[in-house]
Structure 1
Amino acid sequence: MTFNDDAKYSGKGVRKSGRRTGLAVGGGGLGLVAIVLLSQLLGVDLSGLMGGGTDPSGQDETTALTNCLTGEDANTDVECRVGLTRDSLEDYWAEQAPAMGISYSSPIIQLFSGGVDTGCGAATSAVGPFYCPADQQIYLDTAFYDTLRTEFGATAGPLSQLYVVGHEWGHHVQNRAGTFASTDTSQAGPTSDAVRVEVQADCFAGAWLGSAAQTTDAEGTRLLEPITEAQIADALNAASAIGDDRIQEKTQGQVNPETWTHGSSEMRQRWFQAGYTNGAEACDTFAVADAEL
């Protein structure tokens, strides 16, 4: 169990796409997923989103999560879990972001299957979860959690699933803070702006989870149960599994730090823990020296 069974879902902020865009992704199956995820996994560099043409018969329709009502639903249904995760993130960041001097607004989480049209271009599920600054939406195909298990060997339990959403929400906070406009994410390397952006989003996810047990629904009911050490280990396992070094070792048989865009497993875990232990104020990854990153 992660959510309080009695917590009520607001019904806000999450849309489910009724469109399956017919994007041409070529051959390769899960191999293609792994290749694309090397550069796109949980990131903001969306240059690789453009696929083939869309299916003109696709229906560009979205619906709310009408079948999701309570925390009990979130504990058994992955889409409902995203819905209540959204409520917890919103409760935390609506207060935390202004306290950090950030002009805050809420992002939309768009659930899709197969492919989707976004403000950043047409995307397939192969790119993994991502945040699009152009339309300020988070895009997620929940089948990605299965990919975490099968392709990357992560446990991908409920808290690691929350971490994934929290990371993308962290990118929205960065966008509202002007971080994207003030950094150069076109360069790679272990101390690059691209890596600093990504590990800061990990830190922001950790900061939210450190306070998540205090977030409440509209009636003041606690949204999440207290987080256990085992659940934190699950989230750290996901952060480790998607470190640049782990992915490179798995797919290329060698590690090349100069091409990193998201940070090593150790970096991603460490910054997650920094946020979890010390809060969002500890997440200024741009202020630390290269040797401390």
Structure 2
Amino acid sequence: MRFDDDAPLDASQVQDRRGLPGGRLTVGGGVVGLLTVLVAVVFGVDPALFGVSDGAVAPVGRATSPAQLQAACRTGADAERRQDCRILATVNSLQSFWQAEFARRQGQYAPASTVLFDDQVSTACGTASSAVGPFYCPADRRAYFDLGFFDELTGRLGAQGGPFAEAYVVAHEYGHHVQNLTGTMAKVGNDRQGADSAAVRLELQADCYAGVWTHHATTTPQASTGRPLITQLTDQDIARALDAAQSVGDDRIQQRATGRTNPETWTHGSSAQRAQWFTTGYRTGDMAQCDTFD
């Protein structure tokens, strides 16, 4: 994964709340609560949907100035050296692609902000801890990431990791933002569990949308330069993304955590399904091919 070294990065799209207090948290107790969080919310939509909140709409709270992140993450060259700058650059690329894609389809894209945090964070969906992994909150249209999750991805979840594995995670959450804008997220309702549930279909579609962006990532120009911010993706990059998708399949997570699988409790789909739908998006580059609800 290579970036245009001279391209400026837009830090206004990312809020850096690392080091700030998050707020009160109630997740549920003991190993059962932690396993529920791990299985249900890794790459999830909204902690409140799975009971991971304090039951109230928490204040979004203070965020640090984008200038602080911009001071460290000025250009694509910084994205080559620093993880937080790489996440910022990935967000910039995603927003440029979806802006253009919505316009091509005679729609209007509303940008989503990304929030970097550690420990725990207050959102319009409630207060969530780092244990929930990356998530998207539809109430405030923000994607939340504790960068420590990527260590969990390669450690406890057994993924190979790498820059584009991380990019896949970010792209998946932005897939949820697209679903929020198009109204697809409303299809979930109370159908939140089971191999054929709406929740699983929602997650698989977000994987497909991540693949669609991947297809176009090296050809999507940035408004500031007229050039793609991501200049190169290799076969190894794609393999790492597929490996990450498989690592967070419900069956893989359950097998590692309990030694068995239970499709009736799935919320995100199997390893094979997640890889399949990412591949569908990547090969076609067409979001119309991502109808997991049909």
TM-score, scaled relative to structure 1: 0.89
Map 1:142-291 to 2 at 5 A.
142-217=147-222, 218-279=224-285, 280-287=287-294
The structure-2 alpha-carbon separation of the partners of 1:84 and 1:185, relative to structure 1 and needing over 3 Å to count, comes to farther
For residues 154 and 239 of structure 1, what CA distance do their matches in structure 2 show? Answer: 9
Listed one character per residue, the Cα deviations across residues 128-151 of structure 1 (whole Å, up to 9, x for unaligned) are: 110000000111111110010111
Q: Which residue of 1 aligns with 2:3?
A: 3
Listed one character per residue, the Cα deviations across residues 58-115 of structure 1 (whole Å, up to 9, x for unaligned) are: x833221221011111111111111111110011000112434543200000111111
> Quick one: which amino acid aligns to residue 183 of structure 2?
G
Listed one character per residue, the Cα deviations across residues 268-292 of structure 1 (whole Å, up to 9, x for unaligned) are: 00000000010222111112xxxxx
For residues 181 and 31 of structure 1, what CA distance do their matches in structure 2 show? Answer: 28
> Quick one: which amino acid aligns to residue 46 of structure 1?
P
Q: Which residue of 1 aligns with 2:53?
A: 50
> Quick one: which amino acid aligns to residue 132 of structure 1?
C
Shift of residue 243, structure 1, vs aligned partner: 0.1
> Quick one: which amino acid aligns to residue 62 of structure 1?
T
For residues 193 and 28 of structure 2, what CA distance do their matches in structure 1 show? Answer: 28
> Quick one: which amino acid aligns to residue 240 of structure 1?
Q
Q: Which residue of 2 aligns with 1:13?
A: 13
2:40 matched to 1:39?
A: yes
For residues 27 and 150 of structure 1, what CA distance do their matches in structure 2 show? Answer: 24
The structure-2 alpha-carbon separation of the partners of 1:182 and 1:155, relative to structure 1 and needing over 3 Å to count, comes to same
> Quick one: which amino acid aligns to residue 85 of structure 1?
T
2:62 matched to 1:60?
A: yes
Tell me the percent identity: 44
The structure-2 alpha-carbon separation of the partners of 1:95 and 1:52, relative to structure 1 and needing over 3 Å to count, comes to closer
1:214 is paired with a residue whose SS is coil
The structure-2 alpha-carbon separation of the partners of 1:26 and 1:211, relative to structure 1 and needing over 3 Å to count, comes to closer
For residues 155 and 234 of structure 1, what CA distance do their matches in structure 2 show? Answer: 7
Conserved 8 A contact 1:24-1:52 = no
1:116 is paired with a residue whose SS is strand
The structure-2 alpha-carbon separation of the partners of 1:263 and 1:101, relative to structure 1 and needing over 3 Å to count, comes to farther
Q: Which residue of 2 aligns with 1:128?
A: 133
Unaligned runs of 5+ in 2: none
> Quick one: which amino acid aligns to residue 37 of structure 2?
V
For the aligned residue pairs, the C-alpha RMSD in angstroms reads: 2.4
The structure-2 alpha-carbon separation of the partners of 1:191 and 1:26, relative to structure 1 and needing over 3 Å to count, comes to closer
> Quick one: which amino acid aligns to residue 113 of structure 2?
I
Q: Which residue of 1 aligns with 2:146?
A: 141
The structure-2 alpha-carbon separation of the partners of 1:10 and 1:277, relative to structure 1 and needing over 3 Å to count, comes to same
